[in-house]
Structure 1
Amino acid sequence: MTRPDGLSGGQSGSTRLVLHVGLPKTGTTYLQALLVRHRDALREAGVLYPYLRPQAMFLGAVEVRGSHEKFGLGAADVAGTWQALADRVRAHDGIAVISHEILGGAEPHEIAAALQPYSGLQVDVVVTARDLGRQTTAHWQEEVKLGSAASFADFERDQYLADHPEPPPRPHFWHAQDYAGALRRWSTFVPAQRVHLVTCPPPGAAPEVLWYRFAQACGIEVEAAAVVDPLAEAPANISLTREAIAVLRAVNAAVAGLLTPREHTQLVKRELGEGLLTSYSGTRPRAPASLTDVLVPAANRWRREIEASSHPVHGDLDDLSPLLAGPGEPAPDAVPPGVPDPAEVAALVEEVLRRVGQDRVDSRHDGAGNPGGLADSPRAVERLRRRLRLLRGRSVDS
C-alpha cells in the first residue's frame, strides 16, 4: 500500500511524542480538525491525539508561552493543562501527537519548559511551513482578525517588509514565519534529525497531500494514516477578500477599547472574521510584486540553511518559493469606491455592542466570568445575517 510522499511504517512499540508546533497559517487548523474527527480511529490504530477538554492544546500551549493575558485568559484558566496532556501521553503505548501553532515561536527557555514533562521519552518535532508570499497576506489578515485596523501599507512599514527584514528587535512577522529559525530553536533541545519540516503544497494541490506529508513526518504507519479521510474537513481559515478585510478593519476601528480581549475573540474574530465575512464577495489579496526584493532573498537564505542541515524534509522545498502578485495588480488593501459601506459597518458594530451589553448583564446575574458570544444566541446570529444581506442588497442597488 503506497501513499503520496513516500509515507512508510517503522514505528516502535514504545511511547513517542510528536510535537507539531506550527507555524501559524500553514494548514494547522485543517490538520488539527482531521486529528480531532478521527481521534477514536487513530487511537485504535495506535496513534493518540490526547483529549482533556475543548481547546486543551491551545490552553496548554498558552501556558507554556506564558501568553494567557494576550488571549484574555487568567492564569488559572491554563494552569496544569500542559502537565495533564503529558500524563495522557505517558499512559499511552505508541505515537502521541500534540499540535498547536503557538508553540512555533517558543523561545529556548519556553522550549525547555515544554519538554520537561516528557523527559525520558523520544520526542519528534514537526514544523509546517508555507511560502512567504501567501504568509505575508495571511499574517496581516490574522492581525486584522485579532483587532488591528492597520492597512497593508501600515503592516509593511511596521514589520519592515519594505526595508530590511530583520532589524533589532525582530518584528513579529519575521519571528513567527521564519521556519528555519523555528527548526534551529527546537534543535537546541531535540536532535536535528528528529526536527522535521513539512512544506505546504502549492495552490490547487489535493488536500490529502498535506495530510500524508504530515503523517510521514509524524512517523505514522500507512495503515494508521489510512483511517483518516483527508476530505472529511474543508480547508480551514478561509482567506477573506480585500473587501471583507476592509469591513473588518472598519469594525475594529469602531469598537477599539470597548471590548475585552475575550469578547473581541468571540464576537469579532470568530463570528465575523472566521464566520459571516468568509462568504463576502470580492477578490483575495496577494502579496505585491514590490516585496520580491525582500521575501525572495529571505526564502533563499532559509533554504540554504535547511539544505545544509540534517532536518528531514517532507515535501518539496520549491513549494516555499514566495508566490507574489503580478506587476500592476491591486495592493492587498485596495478596494472599490464605497467599500466599506458605512451603513453596513454601523449595523455590524451595533449588533456586536448590543450582544456585549447583554452578555455582561447575563454574566452579572448568573455569576459567570466567561461571557459568551454570538454563537451562544442563534437568533442573534440570524438577525445579523439578515441585516448583512439587506445592507449588501442596498449597496448593490445604490
Structure 2
Amino acid sequence: MPPSTSRSAARGAAQSPRPAVFLHVGAAKSGTTFLQHVLWHNRDRLRERGVLYPGKDIAAHVRAAFDLRRTFFSGASDPRTRGAWRALVDEARAWQGDVIVSQELFAPARPAYVRQAMADLDFADVHVIFTVRDLGRQIPAHWQEDVKNRFATPFTEFVAALRRRNWRTFESARLFWGLQDPVAVLGRWGAGLPPERVHVVTLPKPGAPRDLLWRRFCTATGLVPDDYDLSTTFANPSLGLPETQFLLRLNEALGDRVGWHAYNDDVKLFLAQHVLAARPSPVRIELPAEHVPWATERAVEMAEDLRAAGYHVVGDLYELMPAAASGPALGTAPAHPPDEPCWAEMADVGVDAISALLRRVLERKDGADAVPGAELPVRDQIDLLRRDSADLAQTTGRLAHDAAPLAERAVRNVNDRYPAARRLHGAYRRFRSGTGRSGAETGTR
C-alpha cells in the first residue's frame, strides 16, 4: 500500500505518525449525498494521494452504519449488513494511509456503539466530521425525506413534536434530533476526542458557489480540493410541496400492505427520487413564519454550545441562523402552508406518477416476456421446473458420493468385497467400545 501523502492541518503542529480516520457522521440532508458521490467517483485519485475511501460499492458505508448500530429500517432486514462494519474496519486497517468514511446514518449511534467504533479504530487517530445546515432549511428537507421513507405525519404535527419538551416520546422527533442535533451527535461521537479532532462544517447559504461545501470538507480532511473531479457528482434534491403532499397521501393509502424492499425500490428510489424529484416544482417547502423565532432561538443555543466545546469550525456558525420565510416584503408570493393541499398541482403529480409506474410495469413485462421459455403455459413451466429439480437432486447426490473421502470409500469397498475384513472391522469397533466402558468403570482418565 502507498504511504500516506495527505495530512490534515487540523492535527495541529505536532503531526502524528499514525494514520487518520475521518468519520463523517452527518447530518442527513446537509450535502452528504453530494460529498459521498464526489468521494466515490474520485476514489482512484484519492488512492494515488494516499487516502482510502473504502468499500466495494457506494452503499458499503450505509451497510456498515446499520451493522454497527445493529438496526435496519422498521419491519425489514438485509443480510448484507452483517459484518459490513468489520469489513470496512479491516480494509481501513490494512491501508497504510488516511481513510475517509462518510454516512449520515452513523449519527444516531448510541454511546455503546460509538465506543465500539472507537475501539475498532484504535490503530488510527480518529477525527469526527459533522456537516450542519440551518433549521429553516433542514426541517422542511428532513420532513419530505421522512415522507420518502413511508412516513405519513403531516408537517404541522412534525414541527409540533420537534418543539415539545417530551419530544423523545414521538418517533418522528427522535429520528430528527438523533440525526440533526450537532451538539447531541458530537457529544456522543466526540466524547474522549481532543476538540481539535472534531470538525463542524457549516453549509453555505443559498447562492454560494457550488463547490464551496467541498472546499470546506477538504479543509477538515486535509485534501487539496482542486485535485478532484466534481463533474460526475449526484445531488439528493428535495421534493417540492405538491410532490411531497401526493407521496404522503400515497403512504396513507398503502399503509403496511407493501413490504419495505418493494416500497424502497418502486416508491422511494423510482417514483420519489427518479420521477417526482425531476419535476420542475414551483412550490418549495418552507418553514412557516410562526416557527422561525423558535428555530432561531434553538440555532443560537446550538451555536453557543458548539463554540463552547472548542471544536474546529470550518465556515461560520452564523450560517446556522434560519432565514425568514418568503413573503411579500421579499417581492415573492407568501410561502404556501405545507399542510394546505395543492390540489391542482397534486393532480399533475398524480398523472406523472401513474404514467411512470405504468411504463415501468410494461418494461418489466417486456423483460419477462423476453426470457427463454416465457411463452410456455404456466403448467408446462411448472413441469419443467419439477424435472429440472429432480435432475439437480440426482446430480447433487452423485457429486456428494464422489466427494466422499478416499479412505472412507476404500473401507466400504474392502468390507463389501471381503467378509473377513468386515468381521475384523466389527470386532475392532467392539473392542474400542469395550475399552471405553472399562475405563469409565475403573475411573481412569
Query: Which of the residues 328, 331, 335 maps onto 1:329?
Result: 335
Q: Give the whole-Å Cα distance in 2 for the aligned partners of 1:23 and 1:113.
A: 21
Offset of 1:246 from its aligned partner? 1.9
Q: Secondary structure at the match of 2:88?
A: helix
| 1:260 equivalent in structure 2 | 259
1:128 aligns with 2:127: no
Q: Give the whole-Å Cα distance in 2 for the aligned partners of 1:177 and 1:165.
A: 17
| 2:22 equivalent in structure 1 | 18
Query: Which of the residues 196, 199, 216 maps onto 1:196?
Result: 199
Q: Secondary structure at the match of 1:291?
A: helix
| 2:271 equivalent in structure 1 | 272
Offset of 1:7 from its aligned partner? 9.6
| 2:298 equivalent in structure 1 | 298
Q: Give the whole-Å Cα distance in 1 for the aligned partners of 2:262 and 2:363.
A: 10
Offset of 1:18 from its aligned partner? 0.6
Offset of 1:125 from its aligned partner? 0.5
Q: Secondary structure at the match of 2:99?
A: strand
Bigger relative contact order, structure 1 or 2, given CA contacts below 8 A and separation 6+?
1
Report sequence identity in percent: 31
Q: Secondary structure at the match of 2:309?
A: coil
Q: Give the whole-Å Cα distance in 2 for the aligned partners of 1:331 and 1:97.
A: 40
Contact 1:38 1:227 in 2 (8 A): no
| 1:378 equivalent in structure 2 | none
Paired residue type of 2:263: H
Q: Give the whole-Å Cα distance in 1 for the aligned partners of 2:16 and 2:232.
A: 29
Offset of 1:343 from its aligned partner? 5.8
Offset of 1:177 from its aligned partner? 1.3
Give CA-to-partner distance per residue, 1:143-194, whole Å, 9 cap, x none. Answer: 110012332123223x234xx3664447222232111111211121322221
| 2:391 equivalent in structure 1 | none
Superposition RMSD on alpha carbons, in Å?
A: 3.1
Offset of 1:208 from its aligned partner? 1.4
Give CA-to-partner distance per residue, 1:279-324, whole Å, 9 cap, x none. Answer: 2233111111111232111110111111112200001111111134
Q: Give the whole-Å Cα distance in 2 for the aligned partners of 1:129 and 1:309.
A: 16
Q: Which has more radius of gyration?
A: 2
| 1:73 equivalent in structure 2 | 77
Alpha-carbon spacing, 1:344–1:122, altered in 2? closer, same or farther (3 Å)? closer
Q: Give the whole-Å Cα distance in 2 for the aligned partners of 1:19 and 1:314.
A: 16
Query: Which of the residues 28, 32, 36 maps onto 2:32?
Result: 28
Contact 1:17 1:96 in 2 (8 A): yes
From the two aligned structures, give the one with the greater helix fraction: 2
1:39 aligns with 2:28: no
With the length of structure 2 as denominator, give the TM-score of the two structures.
0.71
Paired residue type of 1:141: Q
Paired residue type of 1:182: V
Q: Give the whole-Å Cα distance in 2 for the aligned partners of 1:83 and 1:47.
A: 19
Structure 1 segments unaligned to the other structure (5+ residues): 1-5, 368-398
Offset of 1:212 from its aligned partner? 1.2
Q: Secondary structure at the match of 1:19?
A: strand
Alpha-carbon spacing, 1:42–1:13, altered in 2? closer, same or farther (3 Å)? farther
